[in-house]
Chain A
Amino acid sequence: MCSLTGATIQFLLSGWLLLAYLKARSTGDKATMLFEYRHQWFRSLNINYHVGIDGISLAMILLTAFVVLSGILISWSVETKSKEYFFLLILLSLGAYGFFISLDIFMMFFFLEVAVIPKFLLIGIWGSGKKEYSAMKLALMLMGGSSLVFVGLTGLYFNSVTGNGAHSFDLQQIAQLHIPVEAQKIFFPFAFVGFGIFGALFPFHTWVPDGHSAAPTAASMFLAGISMKLGGYGCLRVATYLMPDAAQYYSPVIIVLATIAIIYGAFATMMQQDLKYINAYSSVSHCGFVLLGIGMLTKTAINGAVMQMVSHGLMTALFFAAIGMIYHRTHTRMVSQLGGLLKIMPFISTIFVLAGLCSLGLPGLSGFAAEVTVFMGSWQRPEKLYRFATILACASIVVTAVYILRAVGKTVMGPVNDNTYPGLSDASWNEKTASIILVAGIVIIGIAPFLLNNLVSPSSEIILKKITSSNY
Chain B
Amino acid sequence: MKRLMILERTLKNIMLNDFLLLMKSELILVIIILLLLLAKIGVKEWTNEPLLKIINLLLLLNFVAGFFFQKEGMLFDDMFMSNKLISLEKNILNLGLLLVSMIGYSWLRIHKHVTEFYILLLSTLMGMFFMISSGNLLMFYLGLELSTIPLAALVNFDLQKRQSSEAAMKLIVSSAFSSGLLLFGISLMYGTTGSVNFQIISQHLDGSPLQLFSFLLLVAGFAFKISAVPFHLWTADVYEGAPVVITAYLSVISKGAFFFAFVSVLYHVFNNMFTTWYRILLILSVLTMLVGNLFAIRQNNIKRLLAFSSIAQAGFMMIGMIGGSLAGTASVVYFILIYVFSNLGAFGVVALVSSLTGKELITDYKGFYATNPVLSWVLAITLFSLAGIPPTAGFFGKFFLLISGAGAGNYILITIAALNMVLSLYYYLVVVKAVFMDTKEEPIERLNIPALPKIAMYVCVTGTVSIGLIGWIYDYIYSLSK
- Residues on A lying within 8 angstroms of B by beta carbon are 40-45, 47, 106, 110-111, 113-114, 116-117, 120-121, 124-125, 131-132, 135-136, 139-140, 143-144, 147-148, 150-151, 154-155, 157-158, 186, 190
A-B contact pairs, 25 of them (CB 8 A): A42-B474, A43-B472, A44-B474, A44-B475, A44-B479, A106-B399, A110-B390, A110-B391, A110-B395, A113-B389, A113-B395, A114-B391, A117-B389, A121-B432, A124-B437, A132-B433, A132-B437, A135-B437, A139-B425, A140-B426, A147-B418, A150-B399, A150-B402, A154-B406, A158-B406
15 new A-B pairs (CB below 8 Å) besides A116-B389, A120-B429, A143-B421? Answer: A44-B478, A110-B390, A110-B391, A111-B390, A113-B390, A113-B395, A135-B437, A139-B429, A140-B425, A147-B418, A150-B402, A151-B418, A154-B402, A155-B411, A190-B415
Chain A nearest CB from B93 CB (Å) reads 23
User: Chain A residues with Cβ under 8 A from B395's Cβ?
Assistant: 110, 113
Give the most central of A117, A132, A136: most B CB within 10 Å: A117
CA distance A151 to B413 in the complex (A): 10
- The count of A-to-B residue pairs whose CB atoms sit within 8 angstroms is 85
Query: Do A40 and B421 form a contact, CB below 8 Å, given A45-B400, A121-B436, A131-B437?
Result: no
Chain B nearest CB from A329 CB (Å) reads 26
Query: Do A45 and B403 form a contact, CB below 8 Å, given A110-B395, A132-B433, A139-B429?
Result: yes
User: Chain A residues with Cβ under 8 A from B419's Cβ?
Assistant: 144, 147
Contact A154 B389 (CB under 8 A): no
Chain B nearest CB from A426 CB (Å) reads 33
Say yes or no for B75: interface residue by CB 8 A criterion.
Answer: no
Query: Do A148 and B418 form a contact, CB below 8 Å, given A110-B395, A124-B436, A132-B437?
Result: yes
Contact B471 A42 (CB under 8 A): yes
CB-CB nearest in chain A for B330: A44
CB proximity to A under 8 Å, residues B353-388: 384
User: Chain B residues with Cβ under 8 A from A120's Cβ?
Assistant: 429, 432
Contact B425 A143 (CB under 8 A): yes
Q: Considering only CB atoms and an 8 Å cut-off, how many residues of chain B contact the other chain?
A: 34
Chain A nearest CB from B32 CB (Å) reads 36
CB-CB nearest in chain A for B387: A143
Say yes or no for B407: interface residue by CB 8 A criterion.
Answer: yes
- One of B402, B436, B438, B475 near A43 (C-beta < 8 A): B475
User: Chain B residues with Cβ under 8 A from A154's Cβ?
Assistant: 402-403, 406, 411, 414
User: Chain B residues with Cβ under 8 A from A135's Cβ?
Assistant: 433, 437
User: Chain A residues with Cβ under 8 A from B390's Cβ?
Assistant: 110-111, 113-114
CB-CB nearest in chain B for A190: B415
Give the most central of A45, A148, A186: most B CB within 10 Å: A45
CA distance A321 to B346 in the complex (A): 38
CB-CB nearest in chain B for A141: B422
CA distance A425 to B422 in the complex (A): 45
Query: Do A43 and B429 form a contact, CB below 8 Å, given A117-B389, A124-B436, A186-B411?
Result: no
CA distance A44 to B333 in the complex (A): 15
Chain A nearest CB from B374 CB (Å) reads 12
CA distance A196 to B34 in the complex (A): 62
Per-residue CB contact flags for chain B residues 460-482 toward chain A (1 = under 8 Å, else 0) read 00000000000110110011000
CA distance A147 to B415 in the complex (A): 8
User: Chain B residues with Cβ under 8 A from A125's Cβ?
Assistant: 436-437
- Residues on B lying within 8 angstroms of A by beta carbon are 330, 384, 389-391, 395, 399-400, 402-403, 406-407, 409, 411, 414-415, 418-419, 421-422, 425-426, 429, 432-433, 436-438, 471-472, 474-475, 478-479
User: Chain A residues with Cβ under 8 A from B436's Cβ?
Assistant: 121, 124-125
Contact B471 A41 (CB under 8 A): yes
Chain B nearest CB from A436 CB (Å) reads 34
CA distance A190 to B412 in the complex (A): 12
- One of A111, A116, A157 near B403 (C-beta < 8 A): A157
CA distance A151 to B426 in the complex (A): 20
Chain A nearest CB from B241 CB (Å) reads 31
Chain B nearest CB from A156 CB (Å) reads 11
CA distance A47 to B390 in the complex (A): 16
CB-CB nearest in chain A for B434: A132
Contact B433 A124 (CB under 8 A): yes
Chain B nearest CB from A138 CB (Å) reads 11
CA distance A160 to B222 in the complex (A): 36
Chain B nearest CB from A39 CB (Å) reads 9
CB-CB nearest in chain B for A112: B390
Query: Do A151 and B389 form a contact, CB below 8 Å, given A43-B471, A132-B437?
Result: no
- One of A45, A121, A144, A151 near B422 (C-beta < 8 A): A144
Chain B nearest CB from A121 CB (Å) reads 7
User: Chain A residues with Cβ under 8 A from B474's Cβ?
Assistant: 42, 44-45
Contact A136 B433 (CB under 8 A): yes
CA distance A111 to B436 in the complex (A): 24
CA distance A44 to B330 in the complex (A): 10
Chain B nearest CB from A134 CB (Å) reads 11
CA distance A113 to B418 in the complex (A): 13
Chain B nearest CB from A90 CB (Å) reads 13
CA distance A158 to B403 in the complex (A): 9
CB-CB nearest in chain B for A116: B389
CA distance A114 to B438 in the complex (A): 24
Chain A nearest CB from B35 CB (Å) reads 41
CA distance A40 to B414 in the complex (A): 26
CB-CB nearest in chain B for A113: B390
User: Chain B residues with Cβ under 8 A from A148's Cβ?
Assistant: 418
User: Chain B residues with Cβ under 8 A from A42's Cβ?
Assistant: 471, 474-475
Chain A nearest CB from B375 CB (Å) reads 15
